[in-house]
Amino acid sequence: MLTLSESDIAKVLSYELLIPAMEKALLAFSTGRVIQPVRNVLTIEEGKRFLGVMPAAAEEGMGAKLVCFFPKNAGTTVPTHQAMIMLFEPASGTPLAVLDGRLITEMRTAAVSAAVTKYLAPENSKVLALLGSGVQSHAHLEALRHVCKFEEVRVWSRTTDHARRFAEMHQAKAMDLESAVRGADVLVTATNAIEPFLKGEWLKQGAHVNAVGSPRPTWRELDDAAMRNTLVVDSREAVFKESGDVILSGATIFAEAGELFSGSKGLERSSTTIFKSVGIAVEDIATARLVYDLVECSSTRPTAAHAEIA
């Protein structure tokens, strides 16, 4: 059985491979080919420390992720999200690997947003607005550049210095909130906000929002006006348990992401769209299996010396 660290995973995992893998995983989920309960979250200290348990069984792999969500770590050297994933062979039940889950969680979240954005973003999207300047904003900037060619990147953060630092690092523009939102084609909300800060009246017609933050049933990033736009989710069942944006707004869900990918639901790109993502276990298991296969492939590939002899 393999034990794979974050550095092991970083060597093999790329968005070029991960984005289509997430599309495939969510298609399988929405077509009933995945067995997966909604995440069970243990509240250790309200608003500060949570432990999530996330099992799933799919055709390519099965297993579970244990994830620590510690908002109290924000601003320290310790990540707010840390996790471990156990991967099993679904045909035999044989343990295959134990994988560090922090980078997998980071990258699969952004890859899912990128897959959805590919279907819903306005044609020729040029302006990206990142609301939040942490790990997920960094990841989304990288992932979304695989599906859109942005000419302008804007960033806003509740901590102005964080936004300026992010802007300097990525040649982006640090802006006030409303200015960052108005006119943006694609937006990402990636915060631990308790109260909504993104107003629907600021969104341009046809804009697409990836809302990935505030993953608690009483926390919100988007106001009711924003949530009245066409809503796509990763899992209906999960958002009705975990997403304050959905629960408290009473929003109507148009489709799951997997239904977009299968073609059973479709939208005109002129629609203003919200993708609310809470993250589901099949994404982690599919990513873990992808990493496992890539590592196994690289470890069995002939060395240059052996190739020359052959």
301 pLDDT more than 70: no
pLDDT tens figures, 267-296: 888 999 999 999 999 999 999 999 999 999
**How far lies 128's CA from each of 165, 166, 172, in Å?**
17, 14, 10
What average pLDDT score do residues 13-39 get?
98
The whole-angstrom separation of Cα 89 and Cα 31 is 21
The values of phi and psi at residue 266, to 5°, are: -140, 155
Paired tokens of 101: 């889950």
The whole-angstrom separation of Cα 78 and Cα 75 is 8
Residues paired with 68 in a beta bridge:
51, 82
89, 61 Cβ separation under 8 angstroms: yes
284, 56 Cβ separation under 8 angstroms: yes
Q: Is 48 helix (H, G, I), strand (E, B) or coil?
A: coil
272, 227 Cβ separation under 8 angstroms: no
pLDDT at 302: 43
195 band by pLDDT with thresholds 50, 70 and 90:
very high
The whole-angstrom separation of Cα 128 and Cα 130 is 7
77, 57 Cβ separation under 8 angstroms: no
Paired tokens of 82: 């840390």
29 band by pLDDT with thresholds 50, 70 and 90:
very high
Paired tokens of 180: 């960052």
| Average pLDDT over the chain, rounded to an integer | 95
36 pLDDT more than 50: yes
pLDDT tens figures, 112-149: 999 999 999 999 999 999 999 999 999 999 999 999 99
Question: Hey, how many other C-beta atoms are within 10 angstroms of the C-beta on 108?
Answer: 29
Q: Domains of the chain, with CATH numbers?
A: 2-104+282-300 (3.30.1780.10), 108-281 (3.40.50.720)
Is the whole-model pTM more than 0.75?
Answer: yes
What average pLDDT score do residues 206-228 get?
97
> Is the backbone of residue 93 left (phi > 0), alpha (psi -120 to 50) or beta?
left
69 pLDDT more than 50: yes
For 201, residues 6+ apart whose C-beta sits below 8 A from its C-beta are 225
250 pLDDT more than 60: yes
The whole-angstrom separation of Cα 190 and Cα 210 is 9
At residue 230, what is the residue type?
T
